[in-house]
Amino acid sequence: MASALILGGALANCGRNAPTEEFLQLLARETPELAVFRFRPMPKPGISAKAALDWQAILGTAADLLAFAGVLWAAYERYVKPKLGQKVEGLKPFLFINVRRPDGTFVQFSLGHDYKDKEVFVEHFTRQVEELRSLPCDEEETEVLSAISQHEDWVRIHVRNRDKS
């Protein structure tokens, strides 16, 4: 039985004004089997919290990996690729994606760094994530989703209705 996967990622080196919210809306809108969460730490006196990953998501067992890889590539082309000529503090922008199972097994991808060709990325992503997803898992999708959604610093992204924006 396929297992749900936990994704994490960032629009890395894209600057402080990176359109993370717009990017996450795209992921949530284009992939119904994806529950997307953004890191928004609760204010704590005297403590500044930051995360290495801007977002996390739960990719359901019914998700079409080929379609999702296409969505990720489209997001890369829209939000990262135009910035490749501009280095932020000498660092090259890229889309970082980490895909892991509840037991900690993972694969990761850097679009714009390790992957610059859509066909190569889509083939590697679907093959590696399918292998990861096919391993037996003790935790249910609902348990994984519940653990993230109950954490106060992660806020679920809900798709905005364009007609009501």
* pLDDT for residue 13: 87
Q: Which residue has the higher pLDDT, 161 or 7?
A: 7
Q: Per the domain annotation, does 162 fall within a domain?
A: no
Q: Per the domain annotation, does 101 fall within a domain?
A: yes
Least confident of 49-53, 106-110, 157-161: 49-53
Residue 79 near residue 14 (C-beta atoms within 8 A): yes
Q: Per the domain annotation, does 60 fall within a domain?
A: yes
DSSP category for residue 43: P
22-53 residue pLDDT tens: 999 999 999 988 888 887 656 566 665 455 67
Q: Per the domain annotation, does 13 fall within a domain?
A: yes
Q: Per the domain annotation, does 41 fall within a domain?
A: yes
Give the pLDDT mean for 126-147.
74
**In Å, what is the CA distance from 93 to each residue of 17, 105, 133, 159?**
13, 26, 28, 26
Task: Tell me phi and psi for residue 144, to 5 degrees.
Answer: -65, -45
What is the token pair recorded at 137?
């898992």
Least confident of 22-26, 71-75, 99-103, 160-164: 160-164
Task: Tell me phi and psi for residue 35, to 5 degrees.
Answer: -100, 115
Q: Per the domain annotation, does 163 fall within a domain?
A: no
* pLDDT for residue 149: 61
pTM comes to 0.80
Q: Which residue has the higher pLDDT, 13 or 139?
A: 13
Count of CB atoms situated within 10 Å of the CB of 98? 17
Q: Per the domain annotation, does 146 fall within a domain?
A: yes
The range of the structural domain enclosing residue 28 comes to 5-154
Q: Per the domain annotation, does 89 fall within a domain?
A: yes
Q: How many domains does the chain have?
A: 1
